[in-house]
Homo-oligomer: A and B are copies of this chain.
Amino acid sequence: MGVDPGLTRCGVGVVEGVAGGPLTMRGVGVVRTPADADLGHRLVAVEQGLEQWLDEYRPEYVAVERVFSQHNVRTVMGTAQASAVAILCASRRGIPVALHTPSEVKAAVTGSGRADKAQVGAMVTRLLRLDAPPKPADAADALALAICHIWRAPAQNRLQQAVARHTSKASRAPHPSKGRTA
């Protein structure tokens, strides 16, 4: 599950697949919070929204966009705080969290770390065999994050998956996972 953090629009995208294999979109959407609400209520709303996504899709990995402070000073704090909530929600459940920079994500899906939004949207559409680019852009970016994670961390994922398989065998998990969902 990829999360493009934000207070006004927090993009969420769930992709299943393995590096080198076909990718399938499981879900995509946006958690929104009202711009006129106070920060505390917005953070609680982001938490509640992301908890619903985690409950519904139970992803094996969560990939969150790494926030840099050189961006717009007014919005960067909100983005950092929304990302903290996303990382917290996943970590509390024991789901491994990976952070990827925007340029890593762009490079992963388009081949160029300086690709624009339209190019990222077009490649996400092609890679997931969708009829049209997901909207808003935050939703497409979240899917791109999930794809980036599946492609960039195969060795790391294989190791974590082997551990998870071992653990779930040991605990006789009733729903062994068949694929890799990020």
Contact = CB atoms under 8 A, between A and B. Distances in A.
Contacts of A87: 39-40, 43, 81
A77 interface: yes
Interface residues of A, number: 26
Contacts of A83: 81
A70 interface: yes
Interface stretch (A14-22, A90-98, A108-116, A151-159): A90-98
Nearest to A75: B69
Contacts of A90: 40
Contacts of A76: 69
A88 B89 CA distance: 12
Main secondary structure of the interface of A (DSSP, over half): helix
A153 B13 CA distance: 42
A85 interface: yes
Nearest to A91: B40
A40 B89 CA distance: 9
B99 A39 contact: yes
A80 interface: yes
B85 A40 contact: no
Interface of A: 38-41, 43-44, 47, 67, 69-70, 73, 76-77, 80-85, 87-88, 90-92, 97, 99
